[in-house]
Chains A and B, each alone.
Chain A
């Protein structure tokens, strides 16, 4: 990244979130330093997506604090964490304008946005699709565009909510290659997934959630070889029967 300053580490302390009387996230604390790929694992309803949304600021926590090294996770007035959703939200515009729109929202001038949009599309092999209406692209192309769009914002941390859950193996490989490239360029990734094979391939660290609680926070290698706790063991065993 260009600036020496970073919004990381991110310190999450005693995070809680409830809706309709149900406690969906409770007492979650962890620290996220710069670098690496953090996989957020857990079964459906464990609170993975919720945790990402809380950290990204899309939801307000019921209790606890989310503290960035730079105020509000922004540097120079620009938020430096971005999010990619499970089902990519494609604006009714061309691929290029989708990226340019995000950059404009972040304060870029029209010409700067156009230039950086083209650069982002070129970097991820989407240049040929630049003029295509984003909503008419395939699912895999849409998710790659969504990641390129988020990457164009030059985030220090990128949240990804099950980015490959709706993709075929070919598209999944392309997305994983993008994520590896981003990680290699120093973008910290925090990714919810229930694809254990994917977590094994990409993750350097695992946060394991079970019914809204953070039951494990371990280096990925340790988590997979000797899962800490009965729930994590059951989760790994249960998932393995499917893979």
Chain B
């Protein structure tokens, strides 16, 4: 117990003293995850909205597949991307493997199904309510999408936060394609994995505390988004 107590003390010192290596890891993690969520949002929001209002053969199968992909194991996503980005893979020429770019791609791959699936669900509900009014205004098909995305903004913010939560907490994908290289591709989760096995508990604990605080912040933001939505837009 004494060791654990000392580890906690050391962890708080790392955070309090603004340890450069420590905050480099936190910074990289945030950069990778935020970029991945941004990319997933750019692709996933219109895609999910399109899936919500489009009718085509096999649509149900696509929806089931997307929903299933929300549970894609991070290590599998990492493995797939590893095969694609490795030297002999189809995108090996990019030279992304073991760089933050590969990690961003891996996390975007994990977040995308969450964004698409939650957007599809949200927009489909809204579409059934808005459909006739928008058609009356001549906004049919894809012309309805901007209105729907904007009016679902508070629910969609929650979907993006869910994606952020998943990406910031995962370790498997970034470990495989990033390689956990100190100073280059070491994130909070991969560092915790490594430092725990090495016995460097203060660093692992410190990073763990930051991750926990991040999770708390995400949930507070999600809660705030729905409260603000109810107040300023009457969104439900």
A residues sitting closer than 8 Å to B (CB atoms) are 53, 56, 58, 79, 82-83, 85, 89-93, 101-102, 105-106, 133-136
Q: In the complex, how many residues of chain B place their beta carbon closer than 8 angstroms to a beta carbon of chain A? A: 21
Q: Which of B12-61 contact A (CB under 8 A)?
A: none
Per-position 1/0 for B135-150, Cβ under 8 A of A = 1111100000001001
Q: Evaluate contact between A85 and B234: CB separation under 8 angstroms.
A: no
Instruction: Write the nearest CB–CB distance from B225 to chain A, whole angstroms.
Output: 13
Number of A-B residue pairs with CB-CB distance less than 8 Å in the complex they form = 48
Partner of A92, one of B136, B137, B151: B151
What 10 additional pairs, Cβ within 8 angstroms, besides A93-B233, A135-B235?
A58-B136, A89-B129, A89-B130, A91-B147, A91-B151, A92-B151, A92-B234, A106-B137, A106-B138, A133-B233
Q: Is B132 close to A, CB under 8 A?
A: yes
Task: Out of A53, A56, A83, A90, name the residue touching B234 (CB < 8 Å).
Answer: A90
Q: B133 interface residue, CB < 8 Å from A?
A: yes
Complex contact B138–A92 (CB within 8 A): no
Which residue of A has the minimal Cβ distance to B133? A89
Please, which residues of chain B bring their CB within 8 A of the CB of A102? Answer: 137
Chain B residues with Cβ below 8 Å from A89 are 129-130, 132-133
Q: Are A133 and B232 in contact (CB under 8 A)?
A: yes
Contact at A105–B137, with CB atoms within 8 Å? yes
Select B235's contact among A53, A79, A82, A92, beta carbons within 8 Å. A92
A89 to B127, CA, bound (A): 11
Instruction: For residue B94, give the distance in angstroms from its CB to the closest CB of chain A.
Output: 41
7 contacts between A and B (CB under 8 A): A82-B136, A85-B133, A91-B147, A92-B151, A92-B233, A105-B139, A106-B137
Q: Which residues of B contact A (CB under 8 A)?
A: 129-130, 132-139, 147, 150-152, 229, 231-236
B132 / chain A contacts, CB cutoff of 8 Å: 53, 58, 83, 85, 89
B234 adjacent to A134 (CB under 8 Å): yes
CB-contact partner of A135 in B136, B137, B147, B234, under 8 A: B234
Residues on B with C-beta less than 8 A from A135 are: 233-236
A93 and B151 form a contact (CB under 8 A)? yes
Complex-state Cα separation, A143 to B193, whole angstroms: 59
What are the nearest 3 A-B pairs in CB distance? A135-B234, A89-B133, A92-B233
The answer to whether A101 and B130 have CB atoms under 8 Å apart is no
* Interchain CA distance A82-B147 in the complex, whole Å: 19
Q: Which residues of B contact A93 (CB under 8 A)?
A: 150-151, 233
Of chain B, the residue at the smallest CB distance from A98 is B133
| Minimal beta-carbon separation of A16 from chain B (angstroms) | 21
> In the docked arrangement, what's the CA distance between A56 and B134, Å?
13
B233 and A79 contact, CB distance less than 8 A: no
List A contacts of B130 (CB < 8 A): 89, 91
The answer to whether B233 and A105 touch across the interface, beta carbons within 8 angstroms, is no
Distance in angstroms between the alpha carbons of A90 and B133 in the assembled complex: 9
